[in-house]
């Protein structure tokens, strides 16, 4: 690998950054990240990166604001150290759900974050399964948008689940569900839901046949697990047998983990895009090889198109 390739890790997910570097057979770039008593972030790069191709690995997961600000400060430090190109590697892009004005006098924070990254000096973004694909258009720089589907589908196939039905826990996930169903050669169904609050969801009907079937619920993101567990409860009432769930990003807090434990879901498959993808019944799938392959191709100015393949 070219010596100009540098992988920097923020404090959001150092284990993932380390795994990416190992997959590329290089060491992480030495850097110091500390916090002053007043909460300010300090960054110093301890290697010469002048003219380097620098990739900063920092999912903007909880604490979201802290991790985002740290990323911006790291970008500024790298830019002032005369790096030739700066790529922000965001396995999980926080604020992605605030991508439109759906109520009066609200911000489009996903666009604001895009503007902040570009203003700080980012030349390129590498991310996985944006909550809304159109967020790529919020950037005036190249965005490489990878998909976790092949990683999730590989894990599902290894479990050799018979009589499988792929289910979307809400109507917004139909496109993703259809892709999984087609690739796995399974029928699909949909759960209709009503969101009561940011943490409470009511699932009220099932479109499709799940009686006597094993079910795979698929979604791009879960935090409090309200949507997944409400759907699982309803599917069980409709005669579903074993219920699995697969998500790209499990940004689970205590409430989400407890809900998964108490739910009929026997296993939640999720990538390790965030360090929060842990807990009883939760299986974290490694996306470091995928990200490392993308970084290697970007560094070598090669096509990354084949990595967008969602067929598994």
Confidence of residue 36 (pLDDT cuts 50, 70, 90): very high
Strand ranges in the chain using DSSP code E only, listed in sequence order? 5-9, 31-35, 41-45, 53-57, 85-90, 124-128, 143-146, 164-168, 188-195, 201-207, 214-222, 243-250, 265-271, 282-285
Confidence of residue 128 (pLDDT cuts 50, 70, 90): very high
Pair 108, 101: CB distance under 8 Å: yes
193 is annotated as an active-site residue: yes
Confidence at residue 134, expressed as pLDDT on a 0 to 100 scale: 87
Chain-centroid distance of CA 280 in Å reads 20
* Four-point Cα dihedral 152, 266, 133, 8, nearest 10: -60
- Residue 268 main-chain phi, psi, to 5 deg: -105, 115
Q: Which residues contact 62 (CB under 8 A, 6 or more apart)?
A: 251, 253, 276
Pair 236, 177: CB distance under 8 Å: no
Task: For 221-236, give one letter per residue: b (16+ CB within 10 A) or e.
Answer: bbbbbbbbbbbbebbb
Beta partners for 242? none
What is the three-class DSSP state of 68? helix
Inform me whether the pLDDT recorded for 198 exceeds 90.
Answer: no
Residues found in the chain: 312
Q: List the one residue out of 193, 148, 199 whose CA is nearest residue 171.
A: 193
pLDDT tens digits along 151-179: 999 999 999 999 999 999 988 788 899 99
Pair 56, 75: CB distance under 8 Å: yes
CA distances for 182 relative to 165, 166, 190, 222, angstroms? 11, 9, 15, 23
- Structural domains of the chain, ranges and CATH numbers in brackets: 5-146+288-308 (3.40.50.2020), 149-285 (3.40.50.2020)
Inform me whether the pLDDT recorded for 308 exceeds 70.
Answer: no
Pair 256, 224: CB distance under 8 Å: yes
Q: Which pairing describes strands 265-271 and 243-250: parallel, antiparallel, or unpaired?
A: parallel
What is the three-class DSSP state of 280? coil
- Residue 218 main-chain phi, psi, to 5 deg: -125, 140
User: End-to-end distance of the chain based on CA atoms, in angstroms?
Assistant: 27
Q: List the one residue out of 132, 290, 165, 147 whose CA is nearest residue 231.
A: 165
**What is the reported pTM?**
0.92
Confidence at residue 13, expressed as pLDDT on a 0 to 100 scale: 98
Arithmetic mean of pLDDT, 289-308: 90
| Mean pLDDT taken over the chain | 93
Name the active-site residue from 6, 182, 193, 255: 193
- Residue 164 main-chain phi, psi, to 5 deg: -90, 140
Inform me whether the pLDDT recorded for 310 exceeds 90.
Answer: no
Arithmetic mean of pLDDT, 249-269: 96
What CA–CA distance (Å, rounded) separates 293 from 19? 12
Q: List the one residue out of 133, 172, 140 whose CA is nearest residue 310.
A: 133
């Amino acid at each position: 690998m070219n010596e100009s390739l540098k992988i920097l890790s923020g404090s959001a997910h150092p284990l993932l950054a380390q795994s990416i570097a190992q997959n590329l057979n290089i060491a992480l770039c030495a850097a110091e990240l500390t916090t002053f008593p007043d909460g300010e972030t300090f960054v110093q790069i301890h290697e010469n990166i002048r003219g380097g191709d620098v990739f900063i690995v920092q999912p903007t997961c909880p604490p979201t604001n802290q991790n985002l600000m740290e990323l911006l400060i790291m970008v500024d430090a790298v830019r002032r150290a005369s790096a030739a190109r700066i790529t922000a590697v965001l396995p999980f892009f926080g604020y992605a759900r605030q991508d439109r004005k759906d109520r009066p006098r609200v911000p489009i924070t996903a666009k604001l974050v895009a503007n902040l990254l570009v203003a700080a000096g980012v030349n390129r973004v590498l991310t996985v399964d944006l909550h809304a694909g159109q967020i790529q258009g919020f950037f005036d720089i190249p965005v490489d948008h990878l998909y976790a589907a092949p990683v999730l589908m590989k894990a599902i196939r290894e479990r050799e689940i018979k009589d499988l039905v792929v289910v979307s826990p809400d109507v917004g996930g139909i496109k993703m569900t259809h892709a999984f169903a087609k690739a796995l050669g399974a029928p699909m169904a949909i759960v209709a839901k009503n969101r009561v609050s940011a943490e409470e969801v009511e699932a009220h009907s099932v479109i499709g046949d799940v009686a006597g079937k094993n079910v795979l619920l698929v979604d791009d993101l879960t935090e409090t697990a309200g949507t997944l567990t409400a759907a699982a409860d309803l599917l069980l009432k409709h005669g579903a047998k074993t219920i699995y769930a697969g998500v790209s990003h499990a940004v689970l807090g205590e409430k989400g983990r407890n809900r998964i434990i108490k739910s009929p879901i026997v296993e939640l498959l999720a990538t390790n895009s965030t360090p929060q993808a842990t807990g009883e019944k939760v299986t974290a799938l490694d996306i470091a090889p995928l990200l490392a392959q993308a970084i290697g191709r970007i560094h070598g100015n090669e096509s990354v198109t084949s990595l967008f393949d969602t067929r598994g």
